[in-house]
Amino acid sequence: MEKIVIVGGGAGGLELATYLGNKLGKKKKAEVLLIDRNATHLWKPLLHEVATGSLDDGTDAVSYRAHATNHYFHFQQGTLTGVNREQKEIVLEPLLDENGEVLVAERHIAYDKLILAIGSKSNDFGTKGVTEHCIFLDSSEQAKHFQKRMLELFLRFSHSQDKDVKIAIVGGGATGIELSAELYNAASHLNEYGFGKLNRASLKVALVEAGPRLIPALTEKVSASALSELRKAGVDVHLNTMITEAVEDGLITKDGEKIEADLMVWAAGVKAPDFIKELDFETNRLNQIEITDLMQTTVDKDVFVIGDCAALIQNGKPIPPRAQAAHQMATQCGKNIVALLEGKEMKPFKFNDKGSLLSFSHFGTVGNLMGNLMKGDMFIEGKIARLAYLSLYRMHQVALHGWFKTGLILLVGQINRFLRPSMKLH
């Protein structure tokens, strides 16, 4: 039986494992194995809501083991350290408990077809002090660490300090923008839950972007609207401001000025994990693996790559590291692998940019939609944009659970709005 191994359970990896499990694993046409370093999956665009406590990851997280059982694939928890293409096996580092004791020894796992969906991480560009003083938002653990630090900071302020709470975020992309707005929403709710003097007026959020405008990959109209919404919410936006160093109590700019902060987040730029450079594939400067339009690596046709860690140029532009690209790649890769096993021809991947949307918590939503029904793109905002934004996550849930179960999840979510506090307070 053909053994298909998928490394990485993010948006693309888990959708692919679900599809192949239902298509091949259920009929015993192939053994499908998913590997991820974590035990649960959370859609990465939601991490800014986990970071502020607006979303309880315990409610929305998907257990890999339970999902694997329901969709006819296998799951192993582990971290990839090597790929032996000659032996057609991967190496997983030992799995340790919180005390550093070995739970599972190093593993060597054979494959016939390997799909790498390892994702991406924040790119600090080697900036001095960032690793020591800034928090990244690449995982649920990091988001929960930020939330813990944020609550401690707010608690200290509400009982003993008269100064403002200062939070600085580096990076004017989607994560930085959405986190900035969500923080003001969190401050309002925490005031309702007994955090004394804390309110929106006592929170000072600085968003720092090195370029001349926010989200430069989108249209100038979307960028201008995003800037306007953030400033209405109270965010102090610094454009054309490059950070050269992070220190304990703030950020140092290229001009030598200091942006004071009690808590700092680095959300500027993304790259594939550094260890990918050691895996004997062709990579670019962002550590992404070079692939063909069939999503196979340039050096081995039995190894596929999807999502943020894949490097593919189409129409003169690289495929962007966004959730919609990972979703589309997972869909086409799944169909191609099924076709390959059935002796049929695989089809090339073509990215269809459907636009981008940005949520400013309850302050508003803006974006641009693109597609076959429109020539160029269409700017949207308000309730229509908010509905479109929410539908992105629902479509991911449908890909994992199907329409019926997603409907039940929606119903449970509405019930929880009445049963639980609007913020996670621990």
Q: Where are the domains of the chain?
A: 2-120+272-341, 123-268
Distance (Å, whole) CA 267 – CA 273: 15
Distance (Å, whole) CA 420 – CA 193: 13
Give backbone dihedrals phi and psi of 172, rounded to 5 degrees, phi first.
-95, 35
- 160: three-class secondary structure by DSSP: helix
Q: Which pLDDT score, from 0 to 100, does residue 57 have?
A: 74
Q: Do domains 2-120+272-341 and 123-268 have the same CATH topology?
A: yes
Distance (Å, whole) CA 249 – CA 262: 6
Q: How many CB atoms lie within 10 A of CB 289?
A: 24
Series of mean pLDDT values for 10-residue runs along the chain (426 residues):
96 96 96 96 85 78 95 97 96 90 94 97 94 94 92 80 86 90 81 65 91 85 85 92 96 96 94 92 96 98 97 92 91 97 96 69 48 43 54 80 85 71 55
Eight-class DSSP state of 293: T
**Crossing angle of helices 11-20/382-419, nearest 10°?**
80
Q: Which pLDDT score, from 0 to 100, does residue 194 have?
A: 63
Q: Which pLDDT score, from 0 to 100, does residue 160 have?
A: 65
Q: Which pLDDT score, from 0 to 100, does residue 122 have?
A: 92
The radius of gyration of the chain's CA atoms, rounded to the nearest angstrom, is 22
**Crossing angle of helices 323-341/382-419, nearest 10°?**
80
Q: Which pLDDT score, from 0 to 100, does residue 379 have?
A: 46
Based on the number of CB atoms within 10 Å of its own CB, is 100 exposed (0-12), middle (13-18) or buried (19 or more)? exposed
Q: Which pLDDT score, from 0 to 100, does residue 422 have?
A: 54
Strand pairing class (102-104; 95-96): antiparallel
Q: Which pLDDT score, from 0 to 100, does residue 307 have?
A: 95
- 246: three-class secondary structure by DSSP: strand
- 146: three-class secondary structure by DSSP: helix
Q: Which pLDDT score, from 0 to 100, does residue 421 have?
A: 54
- Give long-range contacts, CB 8 A cutoff, 24+ apart: 65-72: 65/39, 67/14, 67/18, 67/41, 67/400, 68/17, 68/21, 68/34, 71/17, 71/18, 71/21, 71/22, 71/25, 72/21, 72/22, 72/25, 72/26, 72/32
Any idea which residue has 């100064």 for tokens? 163
In this structure, which CATH number among 3.40.50.1000, 3.90.1150.10, 3.40.50.300, 3.50.50.100 belongs to the domain 123-268?
3.50.50.100
Q: What is the pTM of this model?
A: 0.88
Give backbone dihedrals phi and psi of 28, rounded to 5 degrees, phi first.
60, 30
Q: Which pLDDT score, from 0 to 100, does residue 305 have?
A: 98
Instruction: Return the CATH superfamily for domain 2-120+272-341.
Output: FAD/NAD(P)-binding domain (3.50.50.60)
Cα→Cα distances 99→96, 103, 109, 148, Å: 8, 10, 26, 21
Q: Which pLDDT score, from 0 to 100, does residue 274 have?
A: 92
Tokens of 149: 């630090």
Tokens of 115: 């799909």
Tokens of 155: 């608690």
